[in-house]
């Protein structure tokens, strides 16, 4: 391809909301173009790389025995009603109505349509196991679309679904996908960690996420260096310390005017945040819940939401807090609530003695509060985030460390949740009916592209690993009007094209500096510069991932390019 003909959608002005390197570079290099919040076009340079990522995924899925098909993205409501997810998805689902008043959605994930397809075609255990997949656009009306294609509202996912006769079969299908995922992310050159994940809304018995390590990752990962435990923060457990000893003191109401934060309260009472218990009110599907944890901890909303099988959950509105506590916001506590609501406490709180809580009265707190004596918890459950330094939940010895990551893939053991709901059954060799045992496996194809850039870039641009580079080589003649230089450059270009190499020639009448800048921004792995020594058959080569240049013969350069 000639750069003079290339449709380069490079962008000079980068919007302020492009906060992270991959988003900025994808816009600058013209890989994507924004249509609306979280909705992007892939431009030619982006689409070429996108197709390469897709090809690696497809090859490994096929190798693992999965069969590709394609389903519609426009799906009738009934497809999701049988499983209850038509309601469950809430506002994240894009919904529409056809001219006849029939409800549809744009598929956010396809467990139900795949389950129905298999249900309608498979009768016997002899036809199992089977794993099906597609690579297709998905639609989710994300609360906060951001970071370009990392969290988009229309994005491409490879989603696969396995169907087995039993759990043992599922374990084998799951392992095949696990291995395929490792092969995919290894081939794409990503540095990633596999972590235990929350199986939340999907139900099921186990799940793991493939996390690309990155400071800009939205997910926090907890890991233990002692035993290798690694889990997404949404799921990570931690070992609570021993219960506090000592006598229960008499409860006391204290006047705490003008203190609004835990820090101010600590200063006022001259103690640490670990002497407090926070009470945070949530509205979970219209029901109010008080969640309690130690003052220096944070509530994990995924864990809390799972406890209530939540569809929609948010902090209770100020007016609701005032109604329930009878006090201004900041003084909620478990004693003296004006309305009976569920109280959920983290197990750590049950081990605490004589703690401080809000008094459900503006400007007052209670001191020396004790669970069991002063109030009862409706539930004791792990509802807090692990922190760096906490004791590992698995080995009980190591201390947890924290890192950030971008989730590029997710594999789940679903069990029979969907097959039970949708009647996806098979007959065993005695003619007895059983529900199929399912797994599901997703990769964010467009997100992978951004994740690769996060790990492969510098100040000048993208540094594509050769396997996904849109073009592998760029030939840069330094002067477009010099016959000798152009002759050598065109010859190299022709040789490489004939050899099947994806090569660009920058035949524009531009200064070398401009051409080098664009080649660097686009991240082409090898640059062959044809300049003043062209007449002697000498050219300069430079790899994008190195700052070194070398002068070599044309033949050597062509050989190096073919190797790439």
Residues that bind ligand ATP (CB under 6 A): 109, 140, 142, 151-152, 155, 157, 407-410, 442, 444, 446-447
- φ/ψ of residue 22, rounded to 5: -65, -40
DSSP notation for 333-370: -SSS-SS--EEEE-HHHHT--SEEEE-SSTTEEEEEE-
- Our measurement of the distance from residue 339's CA atom to the centroid of its chain's CA atoms, rounded to an integer in Å, reads 39
Residue appearing with tokens 């499983």: 83
- The CB-of-200 to ligand ATP minimum distance in angstroms stands at 8
Residue (92 or 248) nearer to ligand ATP, CB: 92
List C-alpha distances in Å: 474 to 83, 520, 529: 52, 10, 8
Token output for 100: 């006849």
- The CB-of-452 to ligand ATP minimum distance in angstroms stands at 13
- Our measurement of the distance from residue 491's CA atom to the centroid of its chain's CA atoms, rounded to an integer in Å, reads 45
In 377-479, beta strands by DSSP E: 379-380, 400-415, 425-427, 433-435, 437-444, 457-458, 461-462, 473-477
Token output for 349: 């709180």
List C-alpha distances in Å: 223 to 174, 294, 301, 377: 23, 22, 20, 31
Residue (108 or 336) nearer to ligand ATP, CB: 108
- The CB-of-216 to ligand ATP minimum distance in angstroms stands at 13
Q: Angle at the Cα of 132 (from 128 to 137), degrees rounded to 5? A: 160
Token output for 34: 């924004």
Cα distance between residue 66 and residue 129, in whole Å: 10
Cα distance between residue 136 and residue 71, in whole Å: 8
- The CB-of-448 to ligand ATP minimum distance in angstroms stands at 7
Residue (135 or 492) nearer to ligand ATP, CB: 135
Residue (148 or 336) nearer to ligand ATP, CB: 148
Residue (201 or 560) nearer to ligand ATP, CB: 201
- The CB-of-197 to ligand ATP minimum distance in angstroms stands at 8
- The CB-of-408 to ligand ATP minimum distance in angstroms stands at 5
- The CB-of-531 to ligand ATP minimum distance in angstroms stands at 43
Cα distance between residue 69 and residue 160, in whole Å: 10
Residue (324 or 408) nearer to ligand ATP, CB: 408
List C-alpha distances in Å: 49 to 52, 53, 370, 429: 5, 6, 60, 48
Residue (237 or 442) nearer to ligand ATP, CB: 442
Helix (H) or strand (E) holding 219: strand 219-224
Residue (23 or 140) nearer to ligand ATP, CB: 140
User: Shortest Cβ contact with ligand ATP: which residue?
Assistant: 444
- The CB-of-87 to ligand ATP minimum distance in angstroms stands at 18
Cα distance between residue 173 and residue 182, in whole Å: 14
- The CB-of-92 to ligand ATP minimum distance in angstroms stands at 9
- The CB-of-497 to ligand ATP minimum distance in angstroms stands at 35
- The CB-of-147 to ligand ATP minimum distance in angstroms stands at 9
List C-alpha distances in Å: 424 to 66, 77, 114, 130, 201: 19, 19, 10, 13, 20
Residue (217 or 358) nearer to ligand ATP, CB: 217
Characterize the bridge pairing of strands 461-462 and 457-458: antiparallel
Residue (147 or 375) nearer to ligand ATP, CB: 147
**Across the strands, what pairs with 435?**
425
Residue (18 or 332) nearer to ligand ATP, CB: 18
Helix (H) or strand (E) holding 69: none
């Amino acid at each position: 391809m000639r750069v003079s003909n290339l449709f380069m959608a490079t962008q000079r002005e980068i919007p302020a909301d492009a906060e992270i390197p991959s988003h900025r570079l994808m816009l600058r290099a013209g890989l994507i173009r924004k249509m609306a919040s979280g909705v992007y076009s892939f431009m030619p340079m982006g689409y070429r790389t996108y197709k390469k990522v897709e090809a690696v995924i497809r090859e490994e899925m096929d190798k693992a025995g999965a069969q590709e098909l394609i389903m519609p993205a426009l799906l009738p409501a009934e497809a999701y009603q049988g499983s209850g997810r038509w309601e469950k998805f809430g506002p994240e689902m894009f919904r529409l109505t056809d001219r006849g008043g029939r409800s549809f959605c744009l598929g956010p994930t396809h467990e139900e349509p795949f389950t129905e397809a298999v249900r309608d075609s498979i009768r016997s255990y002899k036809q199992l196991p089977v794993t099906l997949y597609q690579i297709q656009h998905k639609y989710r009306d994300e609360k906060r679309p951001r970071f370009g294609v990392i969290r988009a509202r229309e994005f491409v996912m490879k989603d696969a679904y396995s169907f087995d006769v039993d759990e043992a079969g599922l374990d084998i299908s799951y392992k095949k996908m696990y291995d395929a995922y490792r092969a995919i992310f290894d081939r794409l050159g990503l540095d990633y960690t596999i972590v235990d994940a929350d199986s939340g809304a999907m139900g099921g018995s186990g799940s793991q996420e493939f996390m690309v390590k990155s400071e800009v990752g939205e997910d926090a990962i907890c890991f233990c260096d002692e035993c290798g435990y690694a889990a997404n923060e949404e799921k990570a457990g931690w070992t609570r310390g021993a219960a506090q000893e000592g006598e229960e003191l008499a409860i006391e109401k204290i006047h705490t005017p003008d203190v609004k934060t835990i820090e101010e309260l600590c200063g006022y009472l001259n103690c640490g945040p670990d002497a407090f218990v926070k009470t945070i009110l949530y509205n979970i599907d219209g029901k109010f819940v008080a969640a309690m944890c130690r003052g220096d901890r944070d509530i994990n909303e995924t864990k809390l939401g799972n406890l209530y099988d939540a569809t929609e959950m948010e902090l209770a509105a100020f007016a609701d807090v005032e109604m329930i506590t009878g006090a201004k916001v900041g003084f909620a506590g478990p004693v003296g609530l004006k309305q009976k609501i569920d109280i959920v406490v983290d197990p750590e709180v049950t081990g605490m003695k004589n703690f401080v809580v809000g008094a459900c009265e503006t400007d007052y707190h209670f001191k020396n509060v004790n669970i069991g004596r002063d109030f009862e918890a409706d539930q004791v459950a792990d509802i807090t985030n692990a922190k760096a330094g906490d004791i590992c939940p698995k080995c009980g010895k190591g201390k947890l460390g924290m890192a950030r990551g971008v989730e590029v893939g997710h594999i789940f053991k679903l069990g029979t949740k969907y097959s039970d709901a949708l009647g996806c059954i098979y007959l065993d060799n005695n003619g007895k009916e059983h529900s199929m045992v399912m797994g599901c496996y997703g990769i964010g194809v467009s997100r992978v592209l951004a994740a690769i850039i996060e790990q492969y870039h510098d100040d000048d641009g993208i540094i594509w690993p050769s396997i996904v580079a849109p073009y592998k080589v760029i030939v840069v003649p330094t002067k477009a009007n010099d016959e000798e230089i152009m002759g050598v450059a065109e010859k190299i270009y022709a040789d490489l094209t004939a050899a099947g190499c994806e090569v660009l020639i920058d035949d524009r009448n531009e200064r070398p500096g401009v051409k080098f800048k664009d080649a660097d921004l686009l991240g082409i792995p090898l640059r062959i510069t044809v300049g003043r020594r062209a007449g002697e058959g000498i050219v300069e080569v430079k790899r994008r991932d190195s700052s070194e240049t070398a002068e070599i013969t044309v033949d050597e350069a062509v050989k190096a390019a073919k190797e790439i």
